Structure 1
């Protein structure tokens, strides 16, 4: 009986999963291109090693066949909407980092809805380039976040439905216990594994003006504790809360405030 239920579940999951053709149609959103899209994608299943749609491959096929043009003649106001069920801290960390890495450094959040763990987030950005779905897919994939669907709902208006079920935080620094490490100016927040340490000590350069922002997350990437200071403080020492596995270290206002980097020590 259990095997039958599992088989039914798997079949129903496949039944409701978006096909490569359906995704391509949603990205292009042009009924005059239906025949061409069907010739390219009908009967084809472009998936990655995890069974998710390989949007990088799908995007490349669309661009090669002139079905997806990302370069605009003039700068336009683009609207990007992201929907997911996720922890808010993790969601904004991963989404904002991916947007920055994709070249969208300056953008304006215009709408945000948080309800029962569901997040609906919209930004506006001025750009001459539409966000490349393939590039965005690859950036999100590095944190095990996957794109379930992309819908073009206007000339410069896209909606992304995201899967955070297997999301993980990608660390960008590696520390040994009880060994201080001086780090260069961060291009993005420092993210580290706490390695069963008991406390975290941080020093900023005296020439900098650091306003500490340190977040402690558990193994499931839920926020356990956040320590934030609106007062300049170039020294930080905090007992690591029970269950914390990761720490995100930043500045309350701008990473330019720690342009000379930080010295970080994980204490046993």
Structure 2
């Protein structure tokens, strides 16, 4: 009995001082110390060749590790009953671009109701905590996949408890997949039930916009740079069916909606870049 206690204590000390760049350390971060101890033999079999779980620069591949843990039933995400979930994010980069991308992603994952519980912005990073009432923790595998589509990757994922998680995020090359790429002299037509339309441009001077079914609307057009910083906001309080606007310098993303009621143009827009 005494030997068993000593071994348990030694294991705890070993975990505490594990190398942060080791595969074991990342597994512990994802599972927590207790679940790691309980499932240590299975984990050793699954990760017997740790080099298979390192990326090209020699760091643990968090996505691959979390995938294996989930596939083998080790990654616990479900709660016994609905409770508050707190998820902390830290990003060294443009906070506006990341939060916009993150909120889009959470919406596609079924998390619509959440609020910022705490936030700190300094010269180096933006840290904030999201709080929501839910039955499940956010799936770290799915979240990593969606973040990658926007040009982000997770440097660290830590489960502090079943309902408290920490993500450290790095921006590699920001993208906005909801924005439709416009090419010069090419018409694009689409409908959106929300009445909000996103486009991406790399050239061109003007943008022509025509509402479908000759609907009258009140244009609101926001131009953003490559990091989703607002460059210019154009709006018109006179109802129109068609309009042409000049694209400001350095504009990359464009959001089009209606000043008063975006649903007015849910049936569609025809746009042309010139």
Same fold flag (TM > 0.5)? yes
How far did 1:78 drift?
1.0
- Per mean C-alpha deviation after superposition, the further-off stretch among 208-217 and 86-95 is 208-217
Q: Deviations over 1:139-176 (max 9, x none)?
A: 11112210000111233111110001433333542333
Question: Scaled by the length of structure 2, what TM-score is found?
Answer: 0.74
From 92, 101, 124, the equivalent of 2:108 is 101
Answer yes or no: is 1:25 the counterpart of 2:28. yes
Q: Tell me the residue number matched to 2:159.
A: 152
- Per mean C-alpha deviation after superposition, the further-off stretch among 33-42 and 84-93 is 33-42
Q: Deviations over 1:12-51 (max 9, x none)?
A: xxxx873332222111113352334455336514246787
How far did 1:214 drift?
1.6
Partner-residue secondary structure (3-state), 1:242: coil
CA distance in 2, matches of 1:215, 1:193: 10
CA distance in 1, matches of 2:114, 2:260: 16
CA distance in 2, matches of 1:113, 1:165: 22
Kindly indicate whether the alpha-carbon contact (under 8 Å) linking 1:56 and 1:135 is maintained by their aligned counterparts in 2. Answer: no
CA distance in 1, matches of 2:261, 2:62: 33
Structural mapping, 1:220-259, within 5 Å: 221=227, 223=229, 225-227=231-233, 237-249=244-256, 256=263, 258-259=265-266
Q: Deviations over 1:40-82 (max 9, x none)?
A: 3365142467877544432232223332122233222211111
Answer yes or no: is 1:215 the counterpart of 2:223. yes
How far did 1:89 drift?
2.6
Kindly indicate whether the alpha-carbon contact (under 8 Å) linking 1:229 and 1:252 is maintained by their aligned counterparts in 2. Answer: yes
Structure 2: give runs of 5+ residues left out of the alignment: 1-18
CA distance in 2, matches of 1:173, 1:93: 16
Q: Deviations over 1:230-260 (max 9, x none)?
A: 9686666432222223334456798645422
CA distance in 1, matches of 2:89, 2:113: 17
Q: Tell me the residue number matched to 2:129.
A: 122
Larger radius of gyration: 2
Q: Deviations over 1:67-100 (max 9, x none)?
A: 2122233222211111101112311222112212
Distance 1:63 1:107, change over 3 A: same
Q: Deviations over 1:201-237 (max 9, x none)?
A: 334467586672523213xx25250416596866664
Structural mapping, 1:179-218, within 5 Å: 179-185=186-192, 190-204=197-211, 212-218=220-226
- Per mean C-alpha deviation after superposition, the further-off stretch among 83-92 and 178-187 is 178-187
CA distance in 2, matches of 1:254, 1:104: 24
Distance 1:173 1:165, change over 3 A: closer
Kindly indicate whether the alpha-carbon contact (under 8 Å) linking 2:224 and 2:253 is maintained by their aligned counterparts in 1. Answer: yes
Q: Tell me the residue number matched to 1:134.
A: 141
Kindly indicate whether the alpha-carbon contact (under 8 Å) linking 2:179 and 2:199 is maintained by their aligned counterparts in 1. Answer: yes
Question: Scaled by the length of structure 1, what TM-score is found?
Answer: 0.76
Answer yes or no: is 1:41 the counterpart of 2:50. no
Q: Deviations over 1:98-125 (max 9, x none)?
A: 2122221232222222222521122112
CA distance in 2, matches of 1:192, 1:138: 22
Distance 1:44 1:266, change over 3 A: same
